């Protein structure tokens, strides 16, 4: 999540569509993403494990481990920090999920558009 309140952005989903704490798979312009919510913080990632380049979840919208505090890949169990996407355990330890910048405004999660300069 970022505080860049003035960058161009597109709506992704309503905040109340995301369980708290929890996760949800999303499609945006043909790209598979997922969002992780922790209170009023939301983090959005490409749904692609850096280990094998495949989606992380086996069950729809289930991207977290049993504690609800870490992102988990269902295939080989890699664990990632929700805040940064860094893999902290598993076969791709030290690699990162690709995070997409977002912000919350008006009860909506917005994806901040990439700088096209
Ligand atoms: S594919 Fe994700 S940990 Fe192996």
**pTM (predicted TM-score):** 0.92
Q: What per-residue confidence (pLDDT) applies to 1?
A: 58
Going from N- to C-terminal start, the domains of the chain cover: 9-112
Q: What per-residue confidence (pLDDT) applies to 114?
A: 74
Q: How far apart are CA 110 and CA 117, in angstroms?
A: 20
Kindly list the averaged pLDDT for each block of 10 residues, start to end, along the chain of length 117. Answer: 72 95 95 95 98 98 96 98 98 98 95 74
Going by C-alpha positions, the residue among 116, 114, 112, 115 that lies closest to residue 3 is 112
The CATH classification of domain 9-112, taken from the options 2.102.10.10, 3.40.50.620, 3.40.50.2000, 3.40.1210.10: 2.102.10.10
Q: Ligand 1: distance of its center to the CA of 8 in Å?
A: 33
Q: What per-residue confidence (pLDDT) applies to 104?
A: 95
Closest C-alpha residue for ligand 1 atom 4: 76
Q: What per-residue confidence (pLDDT) applies to 33?
A: 98
């Amino acid at each position: 999540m970022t505080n860049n309140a003035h960058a161009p952005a597109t709506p992704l989903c309503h905040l109340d569509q995301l369980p708290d704490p929890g996760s949800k798979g999303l499609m945006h312009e043909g790209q598979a993403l997922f969002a992780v919510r922790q209170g009023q913080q939301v983090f959005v990632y490409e749904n692609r494990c850096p280990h094998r380049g495949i989606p992380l979840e086996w069950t729809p919208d289930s991207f977290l481990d049993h504690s609800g505090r870490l992102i988990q890949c269902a295939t080989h169990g890699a664990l990632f920090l929700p805040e940064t996407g860094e893999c902290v355990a598993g076969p791709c330890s030290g690699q990162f999920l690709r995070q997409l910048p977002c912000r919350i405004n008006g009860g909506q999660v917005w994806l901040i558009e990439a700088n096209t300069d």
